[in-house]
Structures are given as structure tokens and as C-alpha cells.
A and B are shown apart, each in its own frame.
Chain A
Amino acid sequence: MSDKMKLYDERVKRLKDAIELREPDRVPIYGLVDNWALSYYGTTLEEALKDVELEYKAYSKALTDFPFDGALASRVTFPLNFVYSLGGGIFNNATETIQIATGHSEIMAVEEYDELIADPMKFIRDKILPRKHKIFQEGTLEEKFAKYANSLSIFFKFGQTTKMLADRFKTEHGLPITNAGVNHFMPGDMIMDYLRDFKGIMRDIKKCPDKVAEACMAMVDPMVKDTFGKMRTVSDDKYVHLYLHLPQFIRAKEFEKVYWPSFKKYVEAVAARGVKILILFEKNWEHLYEYIQELPKGSVIGFFEEDDLRKAKKALGKTMCIAGGLRTNDLYYGTKEKCIEVAKGLIDDLAPGGGFVFAPDKVLATKNDAKAENLKAVTEFIVEYGSK
């Protein structure tokens, strides 16, 4: 076995031990790196979208200059070129990182919940896609099909290239890219992001919570089907990735009604097949611990942004591996010493017994999310200090 493969297996096992709530040989460090890689390398989102090799160079520098045990993605995480081929979407890349422009995606009416509930796939295919994407709005049927076929080829190419780049990270750097191409928002998030927008869903949660809950539930089976369509085999180095963002905005009782049942059902279905699930619990989830402690044991690595990790570990540590810890603000504005001090405290309090993975508190998206020298100092400190 080559050195790189040995390193790869070590890292996969280190993360697996942590997720399965055992104490690994040392505290794993997860590379929560996204568009930060571009500015760190000295390129831009616009340039990288045109040149896969450049994209790889940028991401491989950002992911291998630091001793990460695993990483979120091998490249720019969203298939923007595919979106552009459909005639645009709610994403904007005129800035240095991918951002969603809010207030543009209320494209479903509240009266349409029943149609969504009756058959989500049919409703989205027949009603929403033609409303959303320009290519379905003009030209003959043949022209629409041709444009759609072109878009699909761009999407498939994105998938193939992403897989190819992950393989290169494995063989060239021994670095697991845990992303298996299954990046999901939960049904409640999808209704917010793509169908009702922010104001719309907040109103629906107050005025017709039953409809929202039913619609979410109706979307679970198609999502599970989609997940295992993309993820044919189960392996220790590939996880399902979930990014959750509605729950931080609503009350616990509302979460219990509209979001939790479908979320729980999806996670249980995936975990039952032996797949690990990486979840980004955005913002603060403290008011929701009593629910998420019921997620399947030893299957989830939960990244927390603004929660007190010590409290999170206490409440959830028997269920899931807790990840996160170092504020991006400290990584950029703080000193090396400050970052190391924070890391030391976290390791002292959270590492014993396992179930802890070190990472920044947020995905590194822009150049101000981390100073490289701070990231380097703190990760190298952990390699040394976090070992048994």
C-alpha cells in the first residue's frame, strides 16, 4: 500500500471513530473550506468556473497546506455553470463568494400546497421549473428540449469532474473528500429557498403549519430515492451532507410541527443504510436539542456555528459527534496565540471520550474568514496536542 493510501485510511478511520463516538488516536481536524480557497490561492470565482485545473490547484493548496483529516468539497460546491445554462437562478457570483440573493424565489403560491403535497415531483417538474427557468419559457418544444439536454450534460459533467477531483485528492494527497455528491437541504429548507422565499414560509408557518408539515413529509421519499440514486455504494469515506437553515429562525414548537418529522424521517432512512451524515446546524440550535438528541446514534457529525460546544456536547454527545469550535472572527482578527488558546481549551474539555472533531465555526467562504498563518498555527498545534 502506498504512503498516500495509508494516510487516507488513517484519516478515514480517525473520523469514523469520532463519528461513532469512540476516542480516535487524535482529535480529527475537518477542513471546512469553500470559496476561501480561491482567495488563498490568488484567483477568483469567475476564473475558477472557467478552468477546472485552476479550481483544483486552488482547492488542493488550501486543503493540503494544513493538516486536515477530511474536507467538505474538492471544488466550488455549487454547479453554477449548470444554473446559468438554465437561464440563471437565485445565485449571484458577482461577489467573491457564492451568495443567494433573497426575495426572488417566491414562485409558488400558498394555494398550491395541495398540489405539492399530492405529488411533489410532478408539481416541481410541471409547474415550478417552467416558472423558474428561462429556457422553458421561450421557443418551440424541440428548442426547449435541446436546451434542457445541454443543461443536463453540464450537470453530469459537474458530477463526473467532482468525483474525479475527489479521487485525485485521495491518490495525490491521501485526503478524504467526504462529499459524495449528495448535498441536501431538508424539505423545509427547500420550500423556503426555492418555492416560498423567506417571508412566504414564515407566514405559512404561522397561518397554515399543517400544509407546510404535510408538504415536507411528501418530499421525504423522493429525496431518499434521489440520495441512493446518487450514492450507489456505502463506504466509510463518503457521507451525505446536509445544510440546515430554516430551524434557526423558528420557535421550538414550530420546528416540532413543520420541520422535525420530515427531517428525522430522512436521517433515519439514510442512517439505516449505514451511511454517515454530516450536518451543518447553521446559527444556533440550543432551543432544539431536545429533538435532535433523538437522531440515530453514532451516525451524525454535527457542525455547530454559534452554539456553546460544551453545552452541545453535554446535551447531544451520546447521540452525535460534535464538530466546530474556532470562530472565524478569531481566525482572521485574532492572534495565533489566541487561536491556540481556544483550541487547547476545546480539546481539554471536549476530546476525552471521543465524539469531537475540530473545525472552524463556519464554512470558510471569503478571504476574511481566516488568516492562513492562524489556521496553520492552530491546526499544527492540534496535531501535536490532540494526540492520545
Chain B
Amino acid sequence: MNLSLLTQKIGELDEEKVVEMLNDFVNTNPSPDETKKVVAACQSGMSVVGDFFEKGEYFVGDLIFAGELLTSAIDILKPVMDTQNAGTVGSMVLGTVAGDLHDIGKNIFKSMAEAAGFKVYDLGIDQSAGEFVKKVKEVNPTIVGLSGVLTLALESMKNIVEALEEAGLRNNVKVIIGGNPVTKEACETICADAFTSNAAEGVKICQKWVG
């Protein structure tokens, strides 16, 4: 398996070639260690996609397609993967905040975070402070990701951070807010640790936190 070619083809969103390469690879009956390297090459391909996005060569549609491509790639590899010892770099609880039903940005971020090796607990859309607190208590994540598109999301984000504080959980997690309305000022008001409106950049921030 030519790992750098695989990374390149994922970066180029060449689905046919990627599927062909992975099927050929699975047919060689590879060891879990070999598969691990192939998974890593796929993940690197996702970072290439993120870089193209940051440079303005790719758009949101490309990120969505890349997420789908990665999901099918992992599905092909699953039979030969050692899922027991997959190992994650960190975990996060993610959700679109109360009052907001938008999930496109959140889903893109989720697939890119998963590609980067995070275990993501996705709460879905329109999630209250209570739901976030409950999940954080349950899974004890490294990171909490709050997403929203409408301006009203900012208020919900603030409520959630306050609720984490009240529950005594705030110091155990890093909070990143993402989406259309987030700004530096909003981030300060909300008392989040970071903000972004760019999924690829968001994943990089999270990687720094666990790195």
C-alpha cells in the first residue's frame, strides 16, 4: 500500500481511487498494525482537506463530502481493524446549543475531529445546559464543543458554560465554541477557552489541548 498516495487521494476527494486502494488492501488480509498505518494515512488525508479549506480552495461542500468519504473508508477497513486497541487522543462532548437546530457545521467538525482521533459524543441539536452537564458527568471528556448558527446560540452557550461551572465541572474541561456568530468578544463573555468559525481550525485547537 502506497500510504502517501492514499493520503493524497483522500485530500483530492478521489473517492473511486480511495475505495479501490482500500479494497485491495483489505484483500491482502493485513495485520492490525498495518491497518493502523492505513487509518493514519486516511486521517492525514483529512488534514490535507482541512488545509485546502483554510486556503480557500475547498468549500463547505468539500468538507461534507470528505466526511462521507472518510466514513466509507473506515467502514471498508473495519473488518481488519483492531477496534479494541484503537486508542483515542482525547474525548469530547459536542452539540448544537438550545434554541438552535443547525447541525451542518457541527457534523463537519465532528467528522474532522473523529478523523483526528477524538472520541466524540454528539448530543445532537437544541441541547440544554442540563443535557451537557449530564453527559460531561457521565463520560468525563477532555473537551466540550458548543455549536450554533443563530445569534441566540451565544446566550445558550453562556448558560451552558455557567452550568458547567455550577456543577463544578468547568475546570476539568476545555470549552470551544464554534459557528457563525462566535467572535473574540463573544468568547470572552461566554468564558469559553477558544472560538472558531472554521472546523479545520477548531480541530487544530483541540489537538493542541491534548498534545
Contact = CB atoms under 8 A, between A and B. Distances in A.
A254 B61 contact: yes
B155 A249 contact: no
B152 A198 contact: no
A206 B65 contact: yes
A157 interface: no
Contacts, number: 72
From B57, B61, B126, B183, residue with most partner A Cβ within 10 Å: B61
A100 B100 CA distance: 10
Contacts of A333: 185-186, 189
What band does the interface of chain A fall in when counting residues whose beta carbon is under 8 Å from B? 20 to 34
B99 interface: yes
Interface of B: 13, 15, 56-62, 64-65, 68, 99-104, 125-126, 150-152, 154-155, 181, 183, 185-186, 189
Contact of B64 (A199, A367, A369): A199
Of all A-B residue pairs in the complex, the 4 with the closest CB atoms, nearest first, are: A368-B151, A249-B60, A202-B61, A249-B61
Contact of B181 (A207, A250, A329): A329
B185 to A, nearest CB: 6
Given A206-B15, A250-B61, A369-B151, 20 more contacts: A95-B100, A95-B101, A97-B152, A102-B101, A102-B102, A102-B103, A198-B64, A199-B64, A199-B68, A206-B13, A206-B65, A250-B59, A251-B58, A251-B61, A254-B61, A328-B181, A332-B151, A333-B186, A366-B99, A368-B150
B68 A95 contact: no
Given A206-B65, A248-B60, A101 B101 contact: yes
Contact of B99 (A95, A102, A287): A95
B56 A287 contact: yes
Nearest to A370: B151
Contacts of A369: 151
B62 A366 contact: no
Nearest to A332: B151
B61 A92 contact: no
Contacts of B65: 202-203, 206
What does DSSP make chain A's interface, helix, strand, loop or mixed?
Answer: helix
A103 interface: yes
A99 interface: yes
A368 B61 contact: no
Nearest to B64: A202
B17 to A, nearest CB: 13
Contacts of B60: 248-249
Contacts of A198: 64, 104
A365 interface: yes
Given A203-B68, A366-B151, A366-B152, A95 B126 contact: yes
Interface string A251-286: 100100000000000000000000000000000000
Nearest to B13: A206
B210 to A, nearest CB: 29
29 contacts: A95-B99, A95-B126, A96-B99, A96-B152, A97-B150, A97-B152, A99-B100, A99-B101, A99-B102, A101-B101, A102-B101, A102-B103, A198-B104, A202-B65, A203-B68, A205-B61, A248-B59, A249-B59, A250-B59, A250-B61, A254-B61, A287-B56, A328-B181, A329-B183, A366-B150, A366-B152, A367-B152, A368-B151, A368-B155
